[in-house]
Structure 1
Amino acid sequence: MQSDTGFEYLRFIGEQADRKALLTELMNAYGKDVWNFAYSMTRKWDQADDIAQEVFLKAYRNLHTFRSQASVKTWLLAITRNMVLDYRKQAFFRRVVLVDAFREDGASSSAEREVIESLAVNDMWKQVLELPYKYREVVILYAHYQLSMKEIAEMLGVSEGTVKSRLFHARRKLAARGGGRGDSDR
């Protein structure tokens, strides 16, 4: 897990700072996390590429707004989530999802399905990727990125109780599918 200690200076950067070098550092440190989160939320390789690129462009343009109220990782994942939500709202996204839904006739496995299956390390993550969006995002932020309930709540703009509820329901759905232990906490 990447530590943010090397990026404490972000809150003190000025216009004279080498922002391009900083962007490169951020991309090296968090690029994989941003892309994986975008992919897990969209389940589309090309959209994850586009979103990750947009996240770092937005971060670059807004470096001066980072105030260490959250970790750099949380800040970048929040930007990623917002970008994913923007993509989901676009008409293009809705058309692609609709077309994909009609293709799922079982006749042949799509390249996308094969990528999802090859990236899913085990059956549990395959099942997490099949959860409804609002449950999938809390499970990924909690289990994979190990964000606290408070950090997730702030990122999603909901209460901690809502995060706990979504996590509970996600675990329940996974347990019903045989993919989890249900109510176990770490």
Structure 2
Amino acid sequence: LVHGEGRDLDGWRPLAGSLADRGFSVLAIDLPGHGASDDPWESELAVPAVVAAIEFARSEGSQQIHLVGEGVGAIAALAAATDPTLQVASIVALSPDADEHVARLTEIREARAPKLILVGSLSPGALQSAEAVYRGAIGPCAVVKVPVEAQGTDLLAGEWGVQAREKVLEHLARHF
């Protein structure tokens, strides 16, 4: 689980609990400069942080890796998944924030694992960014537009939170 800029791994607690209840092993990370990380925030470090988390999960015996990210964390997850040696099984991108310092859209389109994009449809900028990721995607990709302004992990709470979490869980279970 990879958070967005200005957030930390605590935003994933509700989803992490739901995943663990369904038998998934869960690893949530703090990107450099966030939460418990002492490193400074540089967006260029997001992708290497995701790759390091994947390598750690593999070293701990994880057979399948599913990436879930929000904002720039979603872009970093997509970028990491372009490396075929990492064998990412699926990706969930909550409100992917197209940050060219993390990865260019032309790069992340090469992530061929099945993708689910969730976005709050009442935020025009977030919707535009999510649709750009969707249009450029290679391989299976679905978009779920939730009729709220909330973005990222905030989509998993509130009025539509149960439905949004179910979409994430269904996607991961389908590709498990």
TM-score by length of 2: 0.28
Q: Which has the higher helix share?
A: 1
TM-score by length of 1: 0.27
Q: Which has the higher strand share?
A: 2
Rg bigger for which structure? 1
